[in-house]
Amino acid sequence: MDKTSDYASMKYPETPINLQANKSTAEFGSDVMADVISDMGFKHVFVLPGSSFRGLHDSLVNHLRNHDPEMIMCNHESIVVAMAHGYAKASGTTGLCVVHDLVGLMCASVSVFDAWVDRVPLLIFGGSGPQDPARRRPIDWTHTASMQCDLVEPFSKWTAEPITLQATVDTMLRANKIASSKPQGPAYVSLDLGVQEDPLPENIEIPSADLDRFQPPAPLAANDDAIEAAVDMLLAAENPLIVGGRFGRDVGTSEVLTELVELSGAAYIEDRAVVCMPNMHPQNINGDPTIRKESDLVIAIDCVDTSTVLDAHNKNIRGREGQKVIEMSLEHLNPNSWSNAGGPQAAVDLQIDCEPLHGMGQLIAALKTRLEGQDAQLKKIAARKETLAEAHSKLRQAQKDKWKDNWDSIPISTGRLTHELYQAVKDKPWMLPVRNHRSFPEALWEFTESGQYLGADGGGGVGYGPGAAVGAALAYKEQEKFPVAIMGDGDFQMGSGAIWTAVHYKIPLLLVINNNNSWGNDEFHQRNIARKRGRPVENAWIGQRMAEPATDYAAMVRSFGGWAEGPVEDPADLAEVFTRAVKEVEAGKVAVVDVRTAL
């Protein structure tokens, strides 16, 4: 009988034992697959064990010694993909994960959709088959399909079902290149169980020494004539507005974006659920309710949905009279008719297809050239910047004053929660992988550069938060950053198992639950529709509230091995509780604070 490991003797990191001194020579198909994964540079692979990739699992452990990549085990496939999603955004690399065959991929599908809408590079491998019917166990007949990738093909950038080892090697390299090339997205590849477990065939070509020849291309530049046309429109505008989008999660964006905003004298606001440049910059007037309508030129850069940027859904979809629109992005290179993500086609006057950061650099260079010696234009820009600075100051003060009346209220306001949490972490090298976007208060948390907040989930799949936060926290551990996440109680419940993974792999994280005991977003919708129909809003809570009993989140987290406090119900207690939580995270722990908040 095989000897079973004694769990009490396990050590971290999880290191295989009883292996030969040197790395073993590849003997089976899955050994070659594991070698290709390692040679592609992956440090971690997020997994939930499944028999359909038992060959690859063995190769990762007993051939590669669970090192480059190290397996990070999760307890649900949706968490597996969400964790790879968060890691990819925080690390600036492609995330890697492996899921079980049909049923595993079904569970993972909502998270694949999130990553696709979010344009995040993921390489997803799924065990499959065996395609040879003679090799199938009874359960394999239930768990095989003629085209397993059809489950996620509509919302993946690329999918494939290779049936030989050589095809698998070539496909893995191609999938990684496609996922990592902008516009980025998830690529899914099935790994046949028979191909994994068979001995190596003769004449297999493994291009390990030439992997630098399988890299993504250089950034796509903008057309020079289009850049000059954009400069013409910008210099002719009286009240230009620049809107920054997805690239706010990338470190380095704010430096280039701020230069463009300052050089042009344009007002600046954020697209939904992003932070691209310092929110206390005097030209940043994010939250101004009138600026979209008052601007005679809007430049939407890397935005998810330009119609939303223009406040044009269901009304001014063809544009406002006298308002010009420039759209700079790669969205039009990644069309897909299966989902309506991205909204309707906005009416734009100038579309510039390019890698947005590179295109901004071109625009800055052209604008500098055109402004040389143009004293009147420079004076006009300086005056506009002074006006914007005054508007910025008044707006930020008003946003702070908004919370005065309920500063000490019980249940706790989201403004007070955010303020106290920021005070506890502001002197740390904090990063915010996850936050509420509807209830996150402007001006109470200071952002100084892009990359400090990783943006929303992409597709609106609830349950993204915990997995994404832990995946990002793993990347931030390697960067010596301090990760802090804020999420709703519903989001936390659906992905709470991610806390076990964080504790097990010693991934420090401070997570705060914005707990209103309700599916608050939907209760908000029920109140609105009741008002429209003249019906009682007092019934909006039915089918929404998570109470009687209320979940004891602190006990749940402790059962996973984490540190937790709550529910915190008095705002006067927040500062002390957050101070204790910060100390736990600095000691390498996972700390969760449950805060009872108002709807």
Query: Are 325 and 300 contacting, i.e. CB atoms less than 8 angstroms apart?
Result: yes
Predicted confidence (pLDDT) per residue in 193-227, tens digit: 999 999 999 888 877 657 788 889 999 999 999 99
Domains (ranges, CATH) in the chain?
7-214 (3.40.50.970), 224-401 (3.40.50.1220), 414-596 (3.40.50.970)
Instruction: Please report which residue ranges of 265-412 form alpha helices under DSSP H.
Output: 291-294, 306-309, 356-371, 375-401
Give residues with Cβ within 8 angstroms of 166, minimum separation 6. Answer: 201, 204, 205
Q: Could you tell me how far CA 410 lies from the centroid of its own chain?
A: 32
Which CA distances in Å does 70 have to 26, 38, 60, 347?
A: 18, 10, 8, 47
Name the one residue in this structure whose structure tokens are 């209830």. 439
Alpha helices by DSSP H, listed for 161-202, are 165-180, 193-197
Residues 558-572: pLDDT tens digits? 999 999 999 999 999
Strand ranges, E, within 400-556? 430-431, 482-488, 509-515
pLDDT score at 200:
93
Those residues whose C-beta lies under 8 Å from the C-beta of residue 110, and which sit 6 or more positions away, are 78, 459, 461, 463
Residue 344: its pLDDT value, please? 85
pTM of the model: 0.95
Task: Say what the alpha-carbon torsion angle 17, 20, 23, 28 is, to the nearest 10 degrees.
Answer: -90
- pLDDT for 315 equals 65
* pLDDT for position 561: 97
Q: In the chain, how long is the greatest CA-to-CA distance?
A: 87
For residue 513, list its beta bridge partners. Answer: 487, 594
pLDDT for the residue numbered 140: 84
Residues of the chain with pLDDT below 70 are 1-12, 208-209, 314-317
Number of other residues whose CB lies within 10 A of the CB of residue 386: 11
**What pLDDT sits at residue 520?**
81
Give the pLDDT of residue 18: 87
